[in-house]
Chain A
């Protein structure tokens, strides 16, 4: 069983479209994250939720809106996609917050044309 699973694996879309990426973890963890990895492989945190509450919200355009319906799920919705949004988006989870290792999904490769 995959611990942290995200869908879709690949997402190709036109500029201006709205798209969503879904993430689920079956580890029983309380905390979930979205990270963005750019073409230079730099991995940067975007959001973090702990027990469905937003605890980290980095400087991310408000076109990006995370939603956590329960602590096992964290989805990412992106409005009005731009070329610069092309990247690999990783979902991750951890047991709690502070001093915790992260478990990552396999990533969603987003290409905006």
Chain B
């Protein structure tokens, strides 16, 4: 079955720096990959979606890359701010008519002022 690994330890960075979070998967290559943000006591909030035939996707200060050879996605937040502190989850879907998203365990990002 599909296994998804994200940085298990918290990522601490200084405000203004670029945060880079990693999502590695095993087994089959997903049709697409999504990134979500989760704040304490809240549900995940969708950020970006990237398809298997796309190398990179951007949205404001966010950038996602998808390398199907390395079986890896990188999630970047440029000019990070303390308000970016949260847990970031990657999720994969194989494709087909189910929309069965498999989530990673998330990486806790802490941006220090």
Residues of A within 8 A of B (CB): 4, 31, 35, 40-45, 48, 55-56, 90, 92, 94, 96-107
Contact = CB atoms under 8 A, between A and B. Distances in A.
A44 B97 contact: no
**Chain B contact patch, size range:** 20 to 34
B44 A45 contact: no
A48 B96 CA distance: 14
Nearest to A91: B43
Contact of A92 (B43, B97, B98, B100): B43
Interface of B: 31-32, 34, 36, 41-46, 49, 51, 87, 89, 93, 95-103, 105-106
15 contacts: A4-B43, A41-B87, A41-B106, A43-B44, A45-B102, A48-B98, A48-B99, A98-B97, A98-B98, A98-B99, A101-B34, A101-B49, A102-B44, A106-B42, A107-B42
B97 A97 contact: yes
B96 A98 contact: yes
Interface centre among A35, A45, A48 (most CB of B within 10 A): A45
B36 to A, nearest CB: 8
Nearest to A55: B98
A38 to B, nearest CB: 10
Contacts of B41: 106-107
